[in-house]
Amino acid sequence: MRYFLGTDSVHTTAAACDYLDDRATADDEVTAVAVAPPDDRAAERDRQEALNVAPVRLSAVGSVETELREGEPTAELLAAASEVGADEIVIGARSGAPDATADLGSTARRLLENASRPVIVVPIPDL
């Protein structure tokens, strides 16, 4: 099974890894991708920290790859999921940022509307 994890924060990655802990095995592959706006060093640093969590938390999974991209999150995440041939997309319900609202996030909503493969939306714990 090929899982695709779209993330924007350490909290989102942790929630997705909690979901994958019970599912992904040594025979599976996980690709974690974060998307930062162009020329935003702070966002790029935050996204890289989010990606660093996946290989540590998913050490029992056969393969864990990470990639930092720039651009519009929905388009980049859908393209990356297609490129790796993901069987399932795992995302957070909203941004993992402390100031995010409890509503379903705009990127999650657009992914649900446009994905051509199953999308699993995991809750982000209150921060």
Per-residue confidence band for 98, with pLDDT thresholds at 50, 70 and 90: low
pLDDT in tens, 33-73: 999 999 999 999 999 999 999 999 999 999 999 999 999 99
Six-digit token string for 44: 């790029």
Helix axes 106-114, 73-84, angle to 10 degrees: 40
Say which residues have a Cβ less than 8 Å from residue 56's Cβ, sequence separation at least 6. Answer: none
Q: Which domains does the chain have, with CATH numbers?
A: 2-122 (3.40.50.620)
Rounded CA separation 63/118 (Å):
20
Rounded CA separation 47/36 (Å):
7
